[in-house]
Amino acid sequence: MKRFFKFIKTTAIGGLLVIVPITIILFVMAQLFYGLFSLSQSLVLELGLQVNDALIMVGIALAVLLGLCFATGLVVQTKLGTALRNWMNSNVARRIPMYNAISSLTRRFAGLEGNQFAPVEVDLYDSSARAVGFLIEDLPDDRCTVFIPSAPVATIGTIYVVEQQKIRKLDASVTDTLAAISQWGVDTDKLYP
């Protein structure tokens, strides 16, 4: 009975450590979007346009949000931005739960670091059955880590450590691979052009 309660406690805490940072990020993005939406609504009214179509205001808000993201990306690439980013990473970000994991996954998914989540076909059990997944990291001892997602939820799965010769890189995009996994294997032929 003690093990059961320990399992419940550790599982709930583990879930909390994943949910809280994601919720905070989504909340901040929603507040930013809402602020930009209100600003774009005021701008449309100030210019004297009689636009009651919320879609135009949402478009303006999204354009401003993308512009802010682009401008921030430009600033981060300067010397001052690099120094600020390094200071934030060493003094602030390391205190935020799951920040390093989410940051690393985002950089890899965007292709800025590592193997860019290269889609792979993996021989897990020395049989003719293969699993489709993503190469996460090459290890120094001729092995690698791969993530095998569970269909249809591609963000949940299992990490395996396998020998390099057990994987075959697919000539497919991450997007096509994620689409095939989330559709229970429909359009898997796009992974094998």
Q: What is the pLDDT along the chain (193 residues), one digit of tens a residue?
A: 677 766 666 666 656 556 666 777 778 777 877 777 777 777 767 766 655 556 676 777 777 777 877 877 777 778 887 787 777 777 766 676 666 666 666 665 555 555 567 889 999 888 888 999 988 888 989 999 999 988 887 778 899 999 999 999 988 877 788 888 888 888 888 888 7
**What element of type H or E holds 41?**
helix 2-46
Residues 89 and 164 in one domain: no
The pLDDT value given to residue 162: 93
Quick one: CA torsion of 118, 119, 124, 127, rounded to 10 degrees?
-140
Q: Which residues have C-beta within 8 Å of that of residue 81, sequence separation ≥ 6? A: 75
CA–CA separation, 165 and 163 (whole Å): 6
Residues 122 and 73 in one domain: no
The pLDDT value given to residue 122: 94
pTM of the model: 0.49
Nearest alpha-carbon partner for 174 in 137, 122, 120: 120
**Pick from 75, 109, 143: which residue ends a domain?**
109
Q: How many CB atoms lie within 10 A of CB 64?
A: 18
Q: What tokens does 176 get? A: 């096509």
CATH number, domain containing residue 155: 2.30.30
CA–CA separation, 14 and 98 (whole Å): 11
Residues 164 and 126 in one domain: yes
Parent domain of 34? 2-109
CA–CA separation, 21 and 11 (whole Å): 16
Main-chain phi, psi angles of 47, to 5 degrees = -75, -5
Residues 138 and 74 in one domain: no
The pLDDT value given to residue 146: 92
- Count of structural domains within the chain: 2
Residue burial 109-143, b: 16+ Cβ < 10 Å; e: rest: eeeeebeebbbbbbbbeeeeeebbbbbbeeeeeeb
**Pick from 77, 109, 141: which residue ends a domain?**
109
**What element of type H or E holds 132?**
strand 131-138
The pLDDT value given to residue 166: 92
